Structure 1
Amino acid sequence: MMGNFQVFDPALLDGAGLNRQAVFDLDALPTDIAAAVAASCTPGRSYRQLILIGHAGRKLWQSVTAAGIASDDPIDDFTVRTVRQWFAGSLAQHAYDILYPGTQAIGLQRLGQLAGWHHASPFMVGIDSEWGSWYAYRALVVADTRFEPTRPVRGVHPCATCQHRVCVTSCPAGALSGEQFDLAKCVAYRKREGSQCRATCLARISCPVGSSHRYCDAQIRHTYVGSMRAIERYY
Structure 2
Amino acid sequence: MTGERSGVAPDCSRVLAEHGLNLQAVFNLSDLPDGIRASIAGVRDVHTYRQMIVFGHGGPALWRSLSASGCMQGENPVDHFSAEIVARYFASENPDHRYCLLYPDNQLLLPLQQLGELAGWHHPSPFRLGINQYWGSWFAYRAVVLADSSFPASKPLSGASPCQGCATTPCMAACPVSVDGSISLNDCMDERSGEGSACAFTCLARLACPVRQEMRYEPAQMVYHYGCSLATIRSYRASSAE
**Normalized against structure 1, the TM-score is what?**
0.94
Query: 2:159 aligned with 1:167, yes or no?
Result: no
Match of 2:133 in 1: 129
Matched residue, 2:112: 108
Matched, 1:177 2:179: yes
* Residue 50 of structure 2 corresponds to residue 48 of structure 1: yes
Deviations 1:28-57 (A, max 9, x none): 111111121232x22376100000100001
8 Å contact kept, 1:42–1:97:
no
Amino acid corresponding to residue 198 of structure 1 in structure 2:
A
Note the residue ranges of structure 2 that are not aligned, 5 or more in a row: 238-242
Structure 1 Cα separation of the partners of residues 157 and 54 of structure 2: 14
Task: Work out the CA distance in 2 between the residues paired with 1:147 and 1:229.
Answer: 38
Q: Return the match for 1:59 from 58, 61, 74.
A: 61
Residues of 1 paired with 2:205 and 2:3: CA distance?
A: 47
Residues of 1 paired with 2:101 and 2:2: CA distance?
26
Q: C-alpha distance in 2, partners of 1:129/1:170?
A: 21
Deviations 1:168-212 (A, max 9, x none): 01011x2x3246430111111111112101111111111010100
RMSD across aligned C-alpha pairs, in angstroms?
1.6
**Aligned partner letter, 1:103:** Q
Partner of 2:240: none
Partner residue in 2 for 1:86: 89
Which of 81, 96, 99 is residue 96 of structure 1 equivalent to?
A: 99
Secondary structure of 1:230's match? Answer: helix
Q: Which 5+ residue runs of structure 1 have no aligned equivalent?
A: none
One-letter amino acid matched to 2:163: C
* Matching residue of 1:194: 196
Q: Structure 1 vs Structure 2: percent identity of aligned residues?
A: 42
Match of 2:205 in 1: 203
* Contact map agreement 1:47 1:144 (CA 8 A) in 2: yes
Structure-2 change in CA distance of 1:45 and 1:88 (3 Å): farther
Point out 4+ residue stretches in structure 1 off by more than 4 angstroms.
1-7
Amino acid at match of 1:188: D
Partner letter of residue 30 of structure 1? P
Say whether the 8 Å CA contact 1:190–1:196 is kept in structure 2. Answer: yes
The normalised TM-score by structure 2 is 0.91
| Distance in 1 (alpha carbons) for counterparts of 2:57 and 2:34 | 27
Identify the residue that residue 145 of structure 1 maps to in structure 2. Answer: 149
The residue that corresponds to 1:34 in the other structure is 37
Equivalent pairs, count: 232
Deviation at 1:72, TM superposition (A): 1.4
- 2:26/2:52 contact within 8 Å kept: yes
Matched letter for residue 70 of structure 2: G
Q: Distance in 2 between matches of 1:54 and 1:191?
A: 28
